[in-house]
């Protein structure tokens, strides 16, 4: 079965500094990986995905993620953090045994706190 690990419960970063939110995965076959963000009392917003191709994936709001097959990682990055980026971030992997995008296994989430 597939799984996702987000080793950090919380990441603290100062505004203007680069940020990284870590994610490692385990899946048989080709990984289909996603990052979502959740603001308080809201649903999940899609940020970016890796299906195939370039290892550096660019997404919404200036976020990008680096896929590393040898390390089975898919870390989320942003060159310059904003206070408004403070939220809960989830990494997810799609079940490779289904033919759809909708059966996702999520990590436990990482709370990003950006301070002035």
Partner 1 sequence: KAGVTQTPRYLIKTRGQQVTLSCSPISGHRSVSWYQQTPGQGLQFLFEYFSETQRNKGNFPGRFSGRQFSNSRSEMNVSTLELGDSALYLCASSSAGSRNTEAFFGQGTRLTVV
Q: Rule CB under 8 A: which residues touch partner 1? A: 32, 34, 36, 41-46, 49, 51, 90, 94-95, 98-109
Least separation, in Å, of the C-beta of 112 and partner 1?
A: 17
Q: Among residues 13 and 92, whose Cβ is nearest to partner 1?
A: 92
**What is the C-alpha to C-alpha distance for residues 53 and 79, in angstroms, rounded to an integer?**
22
- What is the Cα–Cα distance from 109 to 9, expressed in whole angstroms? 7
CB of 8 to partner 1, least distance (A): 15
The distance of closest approach from Cβ of residue 15 to partner 1 in the complex, given in angstroms and rounded to an integer, is 27
The smaller minimum CB distance to partner 1, of residues 66 and 95, is found at 95
Residue 99 CB neighbours (<10 A): 8
- Report which of 102, 105, 106, 84 is spatially closest to residue 39, judged by C-alpha positions: 84
Q: Residue 14 — left, alpha, or beta (φ > 0 → left; ψ -120 to 50 → alpha)? A: beta
Q: How far is the CB of 111 from partner 1 (least distance, A)?
A: 12
- Decide whether 54 or 99 has the Cβ nearer to partner 1: 99
**Six token digits for residue 94:** 């799609």
């Amino acid at each position: 079965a597939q799984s996702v690990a987000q080793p950090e419960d919380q990441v603290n970063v100062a505004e203007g500094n680069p940020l990284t939110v870590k994610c490692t995965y385990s899946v048989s076959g080709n990984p289909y990986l996603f990052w979502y963000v959740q603001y308080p009392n809201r649903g999940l917003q899609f940020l970016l995905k890796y299906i195939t191709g370039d290892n550096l994936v660019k997404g919404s709001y200036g976020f990008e993620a680096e896929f590393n097959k040898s390390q089975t990682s898919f870390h989320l990055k942003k060159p310059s953090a904003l206070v408004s980026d403070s939220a809960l971030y989830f990494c997810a992997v799609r079940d490779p045994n289904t033919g759809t995008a909708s059966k996702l296994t999520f990590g436990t989430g990482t709370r990003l706190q950006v301070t002035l």
